[in-house]
Amino acid sequence: MKTGIIGSGSMGSGIAQVAATAGHEVFLYDNNPDALKRAQAKLEKILARQVEKGRMEKKEAGEILSRISFVDSMYAYENAGLVIEAIVEDQKVKKAVFEQVEDIIPDDCILATNTSSLSIASIASACKNPSRVIGIHFFNPAPLMKLVEIIPAVQTDNKTLKKSEQLIQSWGKTTVVAKDTPGFIVNRVARPFYGEALRILEEGLADAPTIDWAMTEIGGFRMGPFTLMDYIGHDVNYTVTETVFRSFYYDPRYKPSFTQKRLMEAGWLGRKTGRGFYDYREGAQNPGPTKDKKLGEQIVWRILVMLINEAADALYLNIASREDIELAMTQGVNYPKGLLQWADEKGINHCVTTLDRLHAEYLEDRYRCSPLLRRMAREGRRFFENPNRF
């Protein structure tokens, strides 16, 4: 299949690599010639390193590159079967691009957006035939991350959904289907990982190194929230939080942090600028954590119960199936285990009691318990006691 990718940034070029590795003829477009050159050089370097490490034969790397054309016109998509847009997270810009590309592509071409938090229905509305528009959300880096969220809009035809699922699975990816709501599964459910950690920091209960230590050493997460925010970039992470907050009609559960906003305003975006919550400049000394196990366990449980509550609410509101929520969080953001499984292990009653205690303490809606958790506690149920229950 001839596949078009719009946008040659790290996400667009990563998706191009995945598609080309799966045998597709790929046309990577960008309206910035310099960006295209950088993308080509970066892809060549990435594949060369794969060869050096023995993960790929030189011939295979050459074949992958030969299947990617770096183009300066979307008219290269005239015979495409799939076009994926991976440009700036701006709804107006995306809609303008979709309106333009729809006049070029064949009638049976799937038109997908890689947006991480914007409305698929709104983007699809720019098209004369919105039934072939769908969200196909990869995670960065696309060649390494197994999970892809598939998000049909209200206008999306069921054939488009099924064809998209089968196609992305044929690329060696694990797909989950999510309702077209802000943040879909991962960027919605994961918000407390950052938000509650920031709240704990702002309250002065622990500093960033201690919270990161607790979440990795005690919680088993691969990366602490502050290390991860620095890695993602505060411009990106804060913008997603703000988008989800605004899209949910300013629900307090998704409220952004002034602490993170000030870092963004200062230009301390994390690793890419050398400063964030940590100092990455040469010779910089960062403080170590306070390795207090009791404090660490309190930190982990407070963040974890908020994540569990969010996952339970996503299930309650039919955002995705129980299995897809678990897959999304373990394969999309590498959580040590599924949040619903974690809830069963910790005890549903314990989750409800903790959330009620936090709500009574702060009198803030961010700590309101999901109706599903409360109902399950009352009825003595677990998420995985009955496979057909949810």
Domain with 21 in it: what CATH number? Answer: 3.40.50.720
Catalytic residue among 8, 13, 116, 370: 116
Residue 15's CB: how many other CB atoms inside 10 A?
A: 25
Q: Are residues 342 and 372 in the same domain?
A: yes
pLDDT in tens, 48-85: 999 999 999 999 999 999 999 999 999 999 999 999 99
Parallel/antiparallel/unpaired status of strands 147-152 and 25-29: unpaired
Average pLDDT in the 93-113 region? 96
Q: Name the pLDDT band for 385 (thresholds 50, 70, 90).
A: confident
Average pLDDT in the 14-29 region? 97
Q: Is the pLDDT of residue 292 over 90?
A: yes
Q: Are residues 164 and 227 in the same domain?
A: no
pLDDT > 70 fraction of the chain, expressed in percent and rounded: 99
Return the percent helix, strand and coil in the chain, to nearest 5: 55, 10, 35
Q: Which of 130, 158, 177 is the last residue in one of the domains?
A: 177
Question: Is 149 noted as a catalytic residue in this protein?
Answer: yes
Supply the range of the domain harboring residue 347: 185-390
Q: Are residues 213 and 162 in the same domain?
A: no
Q: Which of 156, 177, 198 is the last residue in one of the domains?
A: 177
Average pLDDT in the 335-349 region? 97
Q: Are residues 190 and 157 in the same domain?
A: no
CATH of the domain at 349: 1.10.1040.50
Q: Are residues 206 and 94 in the same domain?
A: no
pLDDT at residue number 386: 65
* pTM: predicted TM-score of the whole model, two decimal places: 0.93
CB contact at 8 A, 183 and 117: yes
Q: Name the pLDDT band for 240 (thresholds 50, 70, 90).
A: confident
Question: Is 234 noted as a catalytic residue in this protein?
Answer: no
Question: Is 116 noted as a catalytic residue in this protein?
Answer: yes
Q: Are residues 229 and 337 in the same domain?
A: yes
Is 367 in a helix, a strand, or coil?
helix
Please tell me the total count of domains within the chain. Answer: 2
Average pLDDT in the 324-334 region? 95
CB contact at 8 A, 113 and 135: yes
Q: Are residues 351 and 322 in the same domain?
A: yes
Q: Name the pLDDT band for 389 (thresholds 50, 70, 90).
A: low
Q: Are residues 260 and 292 in the same domain?
A: yes
Q: What is the mean pLDDT of the chain?
A: 96
Q: Are residues 49 and 147 in the same domain?
A: yes
Q: Are residues 170 and 68 in the same domain?
A: yes
Burial of 389 (0-12, 13-18, 19+ CB in 10 A): exposed
Question: Is 44 noted as a catalytic residue in this protein?
Answer: no
pLDDT in tens, 142-153: 999 999 999 999
Q: Which of 146, 177, 208 is the last residue in one of the domains?
A: 177
| Residue among 30, 18, 152 nearest 86 (CA) | 30
Cα gap 93→97, rounded to integer Å: 6
Q: Are residues 191 and 94 in the same domain?
A: no
Q: Are residues 26 and 164 in the same domain?
A: yes
CB contact at 8 A, 328 and 185: yes
Catalytic residue among 8, 102, 117, 137: 137
Catalytic residue among 187, 257, 309, 370: 187
Average pLDDT in the 157-165 region? 98
